[in-house]
Structure 1
Amino acid sequence: MSGLNLKGTLFMKPTITTYQYSYITQQIDDLVSAELSVNDAQIRAAVLAKILDRITPLLPTDEPVVTTFLQGLQTERLTRAKAAKLLDPLIPLVVPFPQLTPKQLEKLFRKVKKLKQPNWSEMRLHEMTYLGWNDGGNQKKYLVAPYEGRVIGIQGELSPQTVKGVCAICQTIGNVALFLSTTKSSGLGTYTKKGNYVCRDSAQCNRQLTDLQPLEDFLTVVQPQRNHKK
């Protein structure tokens, strides 16, 4: 719902999660594809109705920008350029991933010396359900994500080999690499490593992530055993 800040300027309260926004954008992509490839007007109308049923419950319908957005989707022969212009005004309604300070990140990765920091200037926070970045020099990948009411940091080895496969986080077929993290030690100098294949490009992975559960399942597997204790 919109409100006024201390200066009396109208603002919109973010209520849409980043993965819901990704779901909405994917649905709009499907709508545009149908508009561009299907000639039967009745079929296009049926596709539109189904997509509206899916995305409307995720939107704060008391916001004027949402009303404009939903009306704009019903334009004859919606193009990708028009769809992008309709989606942009929704961004202030998305709860963005928090931009963490270097000290906050170092606290999450206490055992990492000279932690390579992510490039925040290249990140679209309204598309990020989790933070992920690669350190190619050390073949490492770092993940920061919400888990059981808190934010955790996970580091792991990222294979230099990229293959086509299903990402464990976004459940989409793409360019994936094996991510392995040390989950526990036997106490005899040997370690247990667990992981799965994930998108090499975390930005692309976030854009494809529409459900939080696979991310939570993945984090349960790869986080150090001590983090399971409460």
Structure 2
Amino acid sequence: MQPTITAYEYSTITQQVNHLVSVNRSVNDRQVRAAILAQTLDCITPLLPSAAPATEAFLTGLQVDWLTRADAAQLLETLVPMVVPFPQLTAKQLAKLFRKVKKLKQPTWADLKRYELTYLGWNDGGNQKKYLVAPYHDQLIGIQGELSPKTVKGVCAICQTIGNVALFMATTKASGLGTYTKKGNYICRDSNQCNRQLTDPQALTDFLTVVQPKRH
């Protein structure tokens, strides 16, 4: 069947299932566990393809008295073929998105789980740069910026989760002729971890609206 689950929906499902596992490990009251299970099913069922055998098997697998972390991981793995993966771009396609970058460091595609990616982000530590490729108004755009070497604990502007963040600053064109300004925010240093925590793409869109180069 055609993949229909987005990466951020998969993140939502994963977080819900992991929470269910944590409840099973820490709560002895069966009624409480049953209530959390019902909440979990209410949250994730609308995100899954209806009437699909894999969906039915997944939901049935969750409805056990004691869900272990290993069982949960196996169940989540069965959903991967139903997730729309982030496109694997060629070096030429990436270069087109970053026309002004002469020596673009390429992401290591073999290390990426593309079904977890709502956006693509990678660091060039040598130049203190970070590159982002993300969907924006139905097309992929490329954003480059300076990434502070200092990591702090804070809320990421993209995934809205507390974690290890660094200041990302991109140069954007201001309204005046030949005038430029730097705009940015604190985001996760590890973009892969950020993607696993991202459940609402609106925050990503809002961030891109701020940092993308303006055309006049």
* TM-score (ref. length: structure 1): 0.91
Equivalent residue for 1:54, pick from 29, 32, 43 = 43
Aligned AA (1:144): V
Match of 1:35 in 2: 24
Alignment correspondent of 1:202: 191
Structure 1 counterpart of 2:72, one-letter code: A
Partner residue of 2:11? Answer: 22
* Inter-partner Cα distance in structure 2 for 1:97 and 1:114: 23
Work out the percentage of aligned pairs sharing the same amino acid. 72
- Structure 1: which 5+ residue stretches go unaligned? 1-11
After the TM superposition, which residues 6-17 of structure 1 pair with which residues of structure 2 at under 5 Å, given as runs? 12-17=1-6
TM-score by length of 2: 0.97
* CA deviation after TM superposition for structure 1 residue 187, in Å: 4.3
3-state SS of 2:100 partner:
coil
1:211, CA displacement in angstroms? Answer: 0.5
Cα displacement (A) at 1:216: 0.0
1:140 to 2:129 alignment = yes
CA distance in 1, matches of 2:41, 2:78: 18
Pick aligned residue for 2:208 from 213, 219, 222: 219
> Residue 158 of structure 1 is aligned with which of 147, 152, 155?
147
Say which SS state the counterpart of residue 72 (structure 1) adopts.
helix
Match of 2:85 among 85, 88, 96: 96
Q: Which amino acid aligns with 1:167?
A: C
Aligned-pair CA distance for 1:61 = 2.4
Q: Which amino acid aligns with 2:54?
A: V
Deviation at 1:154? 0.2
Aligned equivalents of 1:207 and 1:76: distance in 2?
27
Mapped to 2, the partners of 1:30 and 1:180 lie a distance apart of 34
Cα shift readout 1:145-197 (whole Å, capped 9, x = no counterpart): 00011110000000000000000000000000000000115546x63000000
Among candidates 111, 131, 134, match of residue 120 of structure 2: 131
* Alignment partners' CA distance in 1, 2:126 and 2:91: 20
Structure 2 residue corresponding to 1:74, chosen from 37, 46, 63: 63
State the 4+ residue runs in structure 1 displaced beyond 3 angstroms.
185-188
